[in-house]
Amino acid sequence: MPAMLRSLETAVPATTLTQNEVRDVFAAQPGLSRLGARLVKTCFDGSGIDTRYTAVEEMSLARHSDNPVFFDAGSGLLLSPSTKVRNELFATEATKLFVDAAARALAACEGVEAADVTHVVTVSCTGFFNPGPDYRIVRELNLDPAVERYHLGFMGCYAAFPALRAAKAFCDADPNAVVLVVAAELCSLHVRSSNNPDTIMGSSLFGDGAGAAVVTARQLPPGAPAIRLDAFATTLTPVGEDSMAWNIGDEGFEMVLGTYVPHIIEEHITGALEPLLAGSPAFASGRHSDIPHWAIHPGGRSILDRIETVLGLTAEQLLPARDTLRRYGNMSSATVLFVLKHILEQDPGREDEPICAMAFGPGLTVETGLFTKIAPGR
């Protein structure tokens, strides 16, 4: 059998951020210029986001701490902890999300037990620790200590694609392989007040969350939701290397998210899809809208707007991406797994249905995938 994504589950932290409330906090920070204040309102109000989630409990306006580190709810001040402090919280809180999402994915995969897992692939770009999340998943879920473990670190928003591509390669090489893919990001650890447009944009978009998938080529009980992993492709746009980046600073990680990114994607998205669709005669020469499902990483509302227009997609085809953005924000590498889960949970058709998936990241890198949502009973 081909490699199949047989379960897909997500997890978010307990603390909810309401976009309007967060906007008002950022707009009230001392040192913010008049231009900075206008940018805060513009970015937050135009984000297409209602709520996000954070692992930083202090960020809740309802929570007051005697010794605040990230946010002082009493004074309304955003604080500036060191990168070390932020990373220590990552090690604690990201582990919870990695393990939670992984446990949910295994529990949801009929016919697969923890003892069956042969490979673990973890993904994150918002923190580091070692022994890392791959190790913690093996220990916490009592997986076989001989499980092969791989961690993809600091790749950015597109990193779920290399992880799924690796899972497919493992399953193609060994039909008995069971691969657990888990992406978890705590983007909110790195928010800060600033007059820098890139920083303001990042503060308006990013949230925390995790997604986990079980990928295998084993014959499993029919009827369960499944997505066949058919093909992947990677490309770099000819411009944009300096427009999207992710750097480590003294007070957290620093996002470079240039305002020209939506224009770059608009100009080059059609060409970026060509290597993927060239191998599929059914779609290579047809309209993009002929592909029924689109799992697009919602890097921001303006990016989705440009893609919808350039590719001629319908509002319904963009719904999974827009709904994910509205409810969760941009969770970096984990986000496209939320979008795929949205598609997987839609009412199934009587026939297999193609999915085109894509994500963007530093470089500018464009990762794409052509998948198939398998009809019930197959």
Active site residue 157: yes
Handedness of CA 134, 321, 356, 243 (dihedral sign): negative
Which of 163, 145, 44 is closest to 101 using CA atoms? 163
Handedness of CA 130, 134, 138, 139 (dihedral sign): positive
Q: CB-based contacts of 9: which residues, under 8 Å, 6+ apart?
A: 101, 104, 105, 107, 108, 211, 212, 213, 341
Amino acid 153: pLDDT:
96
Amino acid 285: pLDDT:
73
Q: CB-based contacts of 354: which residues, under 8 Å, 6+ apart?
A: 282, 283, 291, 292, 293, 370, 371, 372, 373
CA 245/CA 238 separation, integer angstroms:
16
Within 10 angstroms of residue 198's Cβ, the number of other Cβ atoms is 17
* Residue at token pair 């949910």: 104
Query: Domains in the chain and their CATH numbers?
Result: 227-373 (3.40.47.10)
Amino acid 86: pLDDT:
97
CA 291/CA 287 separation, integer angstroms:
8
Amino acid 61: pLDDT:
81
Phi–psi pair at 284, nearest 5 degrees: -60, -35
pLDDT < 70 positions in the chain: 377-378
The one-character DSSP state at 47 is S
- The token pair at 51 is 């709520």
Amino acid 378: pLDDT:
57
Candidates 125, 157, 171, 356; catalytic one? 157
Say how far residue 139 (Cα) sits from the centre of its chain: 24
Within 10 angstroms of residue 256's Cβ, the number of other Cβ atoms is 17
Phi–psi pair at 135, nearest 5 degrees: -65, -45
